[in-house]
Amino acid sequence: MSFNIALSGIQAINEQLNTLSNNIANAGTYGFKSSRANFSSVYAGDMANGVQVGSLTQNIGQNGSLQTTGRGLDAAILGRGFFTSRDAQGVVSYSRVGIFSTNADGFLVDATGKRVQGYGPTQNGVIGTMGDIEIPTGQIPAVASTKVSYTGNMSDDWKNPTVAPFNPANSDSYNMVKQSVVYDSVGTQHTVSQYFVKTGPTTVAVHYSVNGGAPDPADTNTLTFNGLGQLTGGGTSPVINLTPASAAPLNFTFDYTGTTKFAGEATTTTNRADGYASGTFVGVELSENGSIVAKYSNEQQQVVGTVAIATFPDEGSLVPTSDTTWIANANSGAPLYSTPGVGLAGKLSKGSLEGSNVDITSELVGLMTSQRNYQANSKVITAENQMMQSLMQAL
């Protein structure tokens, strides 16, 4: 009987050593959660018959330390929740490892090649449906300009031009000229020149020339200012029309909101059109709120999806499929999906990864304790063997 009891102790300690060794080996593994071997007594009827490892407890609830990577598609969850991925067979798994990339098919995938699950782009204030996150890696079309935002200071020190009437070829007939760039429906750039002419103590006329052509008198705008130098009239120019050779007609206006007339130097603080040329895909990044942002060569960005975070009623009951991924079961409960930072889901830390939650010191202490227990059980077997030898010699 003593042989069997001591042998069961050695076998149980071997299982505990396997768990401790696995924890120590994965101390540097991203998203790894340590486990603990729980011993339980074995009975034959009402007689103690040894020990066994009754269960393994996963320490899922304790987060590991953050490790900065600086990579735009790395993310760590600050708090509860798991990233969700789906493999080619449709099996959904959950992980704390936020190492993402774009595969050859244009889908966002995790470090194991599984497709990351998330929400589609928001449209009209409604978040998209949940599924695979697809990254548009091709060309995005050009968008024609409809407005140019221009903000600046029309110097109150300006004098009325010495030459009249206005003539764009004679710089003495205007006080300042500024160029803006607009885009037509195929992305071709067109240069619009604004000629500012002081016409009175509180008024400045603006003439517009498109692509170096003659200004249309019908497009002339008058900026009016009050005694405080604030714009009171002419905040929006007349509609300026352009008919490109190979694009749709272009109609746009200038918005002068915020323009002033103070003494001192004439300045420009904003000069930006709202259209853009076509662009090719150059990369993708993950935002702090979980948004997947695609970037293009024309300096445009667009949100193509949002990573989903899954939480569970009992995350400790998830079934591990590897050291860093789990699947749900009846005990864990059904997953509750949301975006990062909403409800129970933790926020994201961009450019970081969650390290292992293994406490090396505790694991080494456990290793020494297991060693002593192993030696104690070995001595029991040795003592039992010596007793049996003495007994046999006495017969």
**143 Cβ contact list (under 8 Å, min separation 6):** 183, 274, 275, 276
Question: Across the beta sheet with 267-273, what order do the strands follow?
Answer: 240-242, 250-255, 147-153, 267-273
H or E element in which residue 43 lies: strand 35-44
Mean pLDDT of 145-164: 95
Buried b (16+ CB within 10 A) or exposed e, 306-328: bbbbbbbeebebbeeeebbbbeb
Under a CB-based contact definition with an 8 Å cutoff, are residues 356 and 34 in contact?
yes
pLDDT at 170: 94
Mean pLDDT of 74-87: 94
pLDDT digits (tens, 9 = 90+) for 288-300: 899 999 999 988 8
Backbone angles phi, psi at 334, to 5 degrees: -75, 145
Which among 325, 310, 350, 339 is positioned nearest to 95, based on CA atoms? 325
Q: What is the mean pLDDT of the chain?
A: 90
For residues 236 and 218, give the distance between their C-alpha atoms in angstroms, rounded to a whole number: 14
Question: Confidence class of residue 3 from pLDDT cuts 50, 70 and 90?
Answer: low
Tell me how long the chain is: 395
pLDDT digits (tens, 9 = 90+) for 303-345: 999 999 999 999 988 998 887 899 999 999 999 999 999 988 9
User: Which own/partner contact pairs does 242-246 have at CB distance under 8 Å and 24+ positions apart?
Assistant: 242/182, 242/184, 242/190, 242/210, 242/211, 244/184, 244/185, 244/186, 244/188, 244/190, 246/186, 246/188
pLDDT at 105 over 80: yes
Q: What is the pTM of this model?
A: 0.72
pLDDT at 1 over 60: no
pLDDT digits (tens, 9 = 90+) for 229-251: 999 999 999 999 998 888 899 99
Question: Confidence class of residue 388 from pLDDT cuts 50, 70 and 90?
Answer: confident
* Most confident listed range (55-64, 88-97, 358-367): 88-97
Backbone angles phi, psi at 232, to 5 degrees: -120, -15
- Ordered DSSP codes for 155-209: -TTPPPPSS-S--TT-GGG-SEEEEEEEE-TT--EEEEEEEEEEEETTEEEEEEE
| Degrees to nearest 5, angle at CA 59 with 101 and 329 | 70
Question: Confidence class of residue 2 from pLDDT cuts 50, 70 and 90?
Answer: low
- Ordered DSSP codes for 67-97: EE---TTEEEEESS-EEEEE-TT--EEEES-
What phi-psi label fits residue 45: left (phi over 0), alpha (psi between -120 and 50 degrees) or beta? left
pLDDT at 220: 94
Backbone angles phi, psi at 249, to 5 degrees: -55, 140
Which among 343, 345, 313 is positioned nearest to 330, based on CA atoms? 313
**14 Cβ contact list (under 8 Å, min separation 6):** none
Domains and CATH numbers, the chain: 2-62+356-394 (no CATH), 66-140+281-354 (no CATH), 147-273 (2.60.98.20)
pLDDT digits (tens, 9 = 90+) for 111-143: 999 999 999 988 877 888 999 999 888 888 999
pLDDT digits (tens, 9 = 90+) for 269-288: 999 999 999 999 888 999 98
| Degrees to nearest 5, angle at CA 48 with 46 and 49 | 120
pLDDT at 66 over 80: yes
**348 Cβ contact list (under 8 Å, min separation 6):** 75, 76, 77, 78, 98, 286, 288, 289, 290, 307, 340, 341
